[in-house]
Structure 1
Amino acid sequence: MKITRITSHVLQYDLPSELGYSQQYYTRRTAHIVEVETDEGITGWGECFGPGNVAIANRTIVEQVIQPLVLGMNPLDRDVVWHKVYNLLRDHGQKGMPLQSLSGVDIALWDIAGKVAGLPLCQLVGGRHRDRVQAYGYGMMLKRQSTEDHVARFRDEAAMIRDMGFAATKMKVGLGPKDDVKLCAAVRDGVGDEFRFMVDANHCYTTSDAFYVGRALEELDAYWFEEPVAPEDLDGYRELRAGLKVNISGGEAEFNRWGWRQILENRGLDIAQPEVCALGGISEYLRVLALAHAHHTPVVNHVWGSAIAVATNLHLLAAMPPLPGGLFPWEPLLEFDTTDNKFRDNLLTDPLDIQGQVKANGGYVAIPEGPGLGVTPDRDFLKHYAI
């Protein structure tokens, strides 16, 4: 079997309304789907992390840089493919967009391997530790409105996400430390005292401001404080973890096993959040997961993008060993973006219907059946939304 072609499908549409987080506002939803074809008619699907113009740039890397390196190679030699591409691109970037691009190709190769073996991805990587996964719903994005309007909207939206059946919810912050504390208090008020909520700062704080917000989160009993400081600030992460009771999480902006080794040895995370569509694909994710468990650090995958990313993560979460184990082990969660996303809800010939499953099954989502990822994109849909 040989790889005959790699195609990037970059999709985009205008959102119903502008959304924002601590770094920017955006008006369009983008997804980057990778298709790997073989001479035996078996096709694999993957996804590259990266919105907007980043996805367009990554398409060039996938098709013009990675594809010539791997054409004619056996797609089942996925670790050989991974190291060939990484080693030849090492001089041009050990992190960032080259790794995002490699991630989509690698995921597609695992999809092919599952189809050849007749096994779902979760069994291919070790087996199912669980047949279903609880999901948490995130929303409460920033908009161009007053703090008071944010407070009222966040309180109502948090309650709405809870009532949709999700196991927990996550909010954005980024208005500034004092106003952000008001937003967090509103979310706690909206969901009540017993419901878990998490706070995502998207690395907008200095360490001192993160301590200010983090101490308020202790009082509000938040479950985790995500990306409080810049991903490069490993000392800041370590200081926050040592000085705060709230769980410190992060890692979505880190790449490959070498970057993750630094984070984990630094002991700055209570919860690791690797992004499989960015850090190097499934091959590298499995190595990062092993590193995290070697450092006794629980993992909750970062999930962003289309139904391909969601399906990939459902399989990986199903195959994640419990840490540390026991009668009532700590269980991972599926991250689910509750904002408008046609590329997640309408991309597949057989939709995952995550929200419907959550509502019907007490917050739980089933693992896709079928070989590989167990999902197939609708080609008419790909054509309709292609850039």
Structure 2
Amino acid sequence: MRITAIKSHVLQYDLDEELGYSQQYYAKRTAHLVEVETDEGITGWGECFGGGAVAFANKTIVERVIAPLVVGMDPRDREVIWHKVYNLLRDHGQKGMPIQALSGVDIALWDIAGKACDCPVYQLMGGAFRERIPVYGYGMMLQRKNDLARRFAEESVKIRDAGFGAMKMKIGLGPKADIELVEAVRDAIGDDTGLMVDANHAYTTREAVSLGRALEKLDVAWFEEPVAPEDRQGYRDLCEALDLNIAGGEAEFTRWGFRDLVGGRCVDILQPEVCGLGGITEYLKVLALAQAHFVPVVNHVWGSAVAVGTNLHLLAALPDFPGGAHPVQPMLEYDTTPNRFREELLQEPLRISEQVKASGGSVALPTKAGLGVDPDPDFIRHFEVN
């Protein structure tokens, strides 16, 4: 089997309402898909992390830098392909967009491997440790609205009533404003629903310590990306100063980037982003690092149904940690904000929301060969932009 072509598809449409996080607001929804074709008629799909203008930069890297290096190779040689691309790009990008671009290609190669073996990808990774995967709802993104606390409270109740047993909200407006937002959500959902907050590295360590102490009183389960990803010492200081879990890792790349983050005990919960850190091939190495240091993993998930479907396989194959008769199960992060690329992209939708509502908070494992995330060609043609 040989790779005959690699295509990059950037999809985009205008949102009805602007959404944001601590660093920016955006009015367009973007997804970047990678399609790898073979001479045996098997096609694989992957996704690259990064929206907006980043997606267009990554498209160029996929098609004009990576594709010429790997077309003609056997798609089953995933390690060989990964190291060939990384070694030739090492002088130009050990982190960031080149690795995001490589991630989408690598994920598509795993999809091809599963289809070639006629089995789900999690079986290629060693099998499933669970029959169902718990899901937490991600929503409550920042908006330039005067009544944001009321909006967050109302949205949080909708997420809870949709069947999610836990949820995550954005913060990053300043400690005082953040506390008011979290208080509004906690009052709305009550004490029995799990709550996490994501600051998208908005704070200094000193600010984050003070804010974290207030979040502890509101029974927040984890404080995500409180400081800049480069601030390793800040992360370590927060882990030592606070009782609530410090989470991070979505902005890190490759085993070498995660080596110091994990080895330095900089986070209580590691959040690898498979569509950005180097794909499934590299994710497995990062997972091994985390397990060797007894750091729990809750994958970061952001993007289209391709990213969601990919993470279903990763979470299915994630061992119970640390193991026992009643282990804590890994959760799937699921974006509940409006996203046509999540709900309408696939020929056979994942129906995550429907499953969560029917089951009370979990989803079944995929059963199709590969990743089971084949997009609708007509949908791609309609939303693709150059």
TM-score tier (shorter): over 0.9
Residues 10 and 33, structure 1, Cα contact 8 Å, conserved in 2: yes
Partner Cα distance (1:100, 1:337) in 2: 20
Aligned ranges for residues 197-236 of structure 1 at < 5 Å?
197-236=195-234
Partner Cα distance (2:111, 2:174) in 1: 43
Residues 12 and 31, structure 1, Cα contact 8 Å, conserved in 2: yes
Instruction: Show CA shifts across 1:224-278 (max 9, x none).
Output: 0000000000000000010101100000000000000010111111100000000
Partner Cα distance (1:272, 1:117) in 2: 31
For 1:42, the equivalent position in structure 2 comes to: 42
For 1:85, the equivalent position in structure 2 comes to: 85
Partner Cα distance (1:92, 1:198) in 2: 36
1:363 maps onto 2:361 in alignment: yes
1:202 aligns to what SS in structure 2? coil
1:292 maps onto 2:287 in alignment: no
Partner Cα distance (2:264, 2:152) in 1: 34
Instruction: Show CA shifts across 1:159-210 (max 9, x none).
Output: 1111110120100011111110111111111110121100000000011110
Identical columns (%) = 67
1:113 aligns to what SS in structure 2? helix
Partner Cα distance (2:167, 2:189) in 1: 9
2:90 aligns to what SS in structure 1? helix
Q: CA deviation at 1:120?
A: 0.3
TM-score (norm 2): 0.99
Question: Any unmatched runs of 5+ in structure 2?
Answer: none
Partner Cα distance (1:315, 1:159) in 2: 29
Residues 238 and 269, structure 1, Cα contact 8 Å, conserved in 2: yes
2:112 aligns to what SS in structure 1? helix
1:183 maps onto 2:181 in alignment: yes
For 1:254, the equivalent position in structure 2 comes to: 252
For 2:13, the equivalent position in structure 1 comes to: 13
For 2:339, the equivalent position in structure 1 comes to: 341
Q: CA deviation at 1:375?
A: 2.3
TM-score (norm 1): 0.99
Amino acid at match of 2:307: A
Residues 368 and 375, structure 1, Cα contact 8 Å, conserved in 2: no
Amino acid at match of 1:87: N
Instruction: Show CA shifts across 1:126-156 (max 9, x none).
Output: 100012111111111111122xx11111111
Q: CA deviation at 1:95?
A: 0.3
Partner Cα distance (2:87, 2:294) in 1: 30
For 2:348, the equivalent position in structure 1 comes to: 350
Instruction: Show CA shifts across 1:337-356 (max 9, x none).
Output: 11111001000011111111
For 2:278, the equivalent position in structure 1 comes to: 280
Instruction: Show CA shifts across 1:329-369 (max 9, x none).
Output: 02110001111110010000111111111000111111221
1:92 aligns to what SS in structure 2? coil
Q: CA deviation at 1:92?
A: 0.2
Residues 89 and 98, structure 1, Cα contact 8 Å, conserved in 2: yes
For 1:167, the equivalent position in structure 2 comes to: 165
Q: CA deviation at 1:294?
A: 0.5
2:247 aligns to what SS in structure 1? strand
User: Post-superposition, which runs of at least 4 consecutive aligned residues in structure 1 deviate over 6 A?
Assistant: none
Partner Cα distance (2:76, 2:141) in 1: 41
2:208 aligns to what SS in structure 1? helix
Partner Cα distance (2:126, 2:215) in 1: 37
Amino acid at match of 1:293: Q
Calculate the aligned-residue CA RMSD, in Å.
Answer: 0.7
Amino acid at match of 1:308: V
For 1:113, the equivalent position in structure 2 comes to: 113
Residues 265 and 295, structure 1, Cα contact 8 Å, conserved in 2: yes
Question: Any unmatched runs of 5+ in structure 1?
Answer: none
Partner Cα distance (1:346, 1:156) in 2: 25
For 2:32, the equivalent position in structure 1 comes to: 32
